[in-house]
Structure 1
Amino acid sequence: RQFGEGGAELFHSHRAGGIVLPTGTVRVEKLSASFTELPGFEDGAWWVQDAAASLPARLFGDIKGLRVADLCAAPGGKTAQLILGGANVTAVDISKNRLARLSQNLERLGLSAEIVQADLLKYEPEQLFDAVLLDAPCSSTGTVRRHPDVPWTKTAADIEKLADLQRRLLARAVTLVKPGGRIVFSNCSLDPLEGEALYRAFLAGTADIVDDPLRPGEIAGIDPFLTPQGTLRTTPADLELGSPERSGLDGFFAARFRRAG
C-alpha cells in the first residue's frame, strides 16, 4: 500500500498490523475488513499497489517540477506516485473506462493530473516531456502468486505478440521525451522476451537512445533487485526473507534509458 502525506502512520501500528517492507511499501498481513473500510482509504491517505509495481516510478530520481508522462497509466497508482514526487503529470491511456477509474482514484487521493485518452502509437503532445514512464501491456505472468492460472493462459505466440507491441510502444515513447530526458520501461512479466531480451534488442537497435543503468545505492530499497546490466528484476520469491507475512511481491522488469542529444 502506498501512502499520501500522513497515511503511513495509519497502517504502521500494532492495531492495523502493518509492516514496512524494504521497498517502503506498508503491507498488512491480515485485513480486519474490506480495504475500502480501513482507516484512511476514504480520506485518500493511501492506495493499493503491489510493492513491485511501486518501483518503476521511483527510478527517475528527483522529478520535482518536471513534466512527466505516465503512458498506459490506468488505474493510476504510478500516476499518483509521480504527482507526489512533485511532477506535473500527464496520464495517457487508450481506455475511456480505465481512465474514468484513474480519475476517480486521483479524486479520492486529492491529486490532479492532465488526463488524455489516446492511442499511444498515435499520440501527439503539444510539447515534449522531460521524462516518460511506460508500464506496458504484457502477459502479466509476474502476478502468478496472486493469479496462479496466468502461466497456463498465455501461449508462446501470445508472448511474442505482446513483446512486439511493447517494442512499438517503447519506440513511440522515446519520441515523446526531450533530448536528454529519461524513459523508464517496465512490465509485470517474468518472460525474458518481454524484459531482458527486449531491453537488449532495443538498446542495440535504436540510434537515439542511450542506456541509463541503475546503480547500487542510487535508490533506497532496490539494490536486491538490480541486475549486473543495471536493470531491475523482481520475482514472486523476493522479499520473503524468512517472514511469511511479507509474502513476496509481483514479478517486474524495468529498464531506464535517456534520449540522446
Structure 2
Amino acid sequence: MSEFRHNGLRFHYEVSGEGNPLVFLHGLGGSMVQIKKIYEPISGVQLINMDQQGHGESDIDLETLSFDSMGDDVIALLEHLGLQQVYLAGISMGAAVSLNIATRYPQRVKKLLLIRNAWTNEAQPDEVQQIFKDCAMALKDNDIEKFYATDSYKKIFRLSAYTTNAFTNYFKDPVSVRNYKKYLILPNKVPIPSLAVLKKLRMPVMIIANDNDLAHPIAYSRYLHEHISGAVYYEIVDKDKDAVGHREAVNFYLQKLLSE
C-alpha cells in the first residue's frame, strides 16, 4: 500500500497489474477492499485503487467534503502517478465522483463506466437521505439497536437483504463510526451542477444498473443514459437474487468497455 498527500490530507492507494491504467472507485462506506472483492484482473490493465476521503485509511476534511473535492483528490493521484489519461470506473458514490471528474476534467478520462448510480444532477431523495440520517445518528452513538428502532431500518429490512446488510455493516466499520458525518453530508450533495454538462461529454460512457435497490434507483441510471449522448446502458441481476452473477456481470461489462 502506498500513500500521497493532497490539500493537507493523506490518501492510501494501490497499483496492481501492468498496462492501460484503470482507476476504479469504491462506494459510500466502502474502501479499496470493496474493489478487490469485485474486480477480476484483466490482462493489459493496470488497476489503480484508492481509499477516498473518510474511507479506509485515508483522511477526511468534513468542512470541504463534496464531490468536487473528492474528484480533485483523484486528479491529484493521477498527478502523483504521472498519468495524463485513464479509464475511469466507479460504484455508487464512486460513480458520482467519476461523473464529476468526467465533466470537470474530460481530457483526463479515456472511457467512463458508471455502476449503480445513486446521484444525478440532484441530491438523493428525501426518503434515502432520511435513512442515511437515521443510520448516522445511530453510528454517532455506536448503537445499532438505535438504528433497528427507526422506521428507516424497518423500511429497508422489508425491501432488500442486500441494502439492509449494507447499512448495518457500517456499524462493524470503525471508520464509518468515526466519520459518521459523511453519511449526513454526501447524500445532500450533487456531483454535477446541471444536465447541461452531460451534453458536453465526448468520451465513451457505459452505464450499468440493477433493479430492487432503494439507494441506487434504476431510474437514475436510465436518466443519465437518456442525457449522455452515445452512452450505452445495460441492466444486470441484483445482488439479492444472484450476488455471484452480479459480480460476474460487472466484470464482463468492464472488460467489454475496455476492449472495444
TM-score range, shorter chain: 0.3 to 0.5
Higher share in helix:
2
Q: TM-score, normalised by structure 2?
A: 0.34
Q: TM-score, normalised by structure 1?
A: 0.34
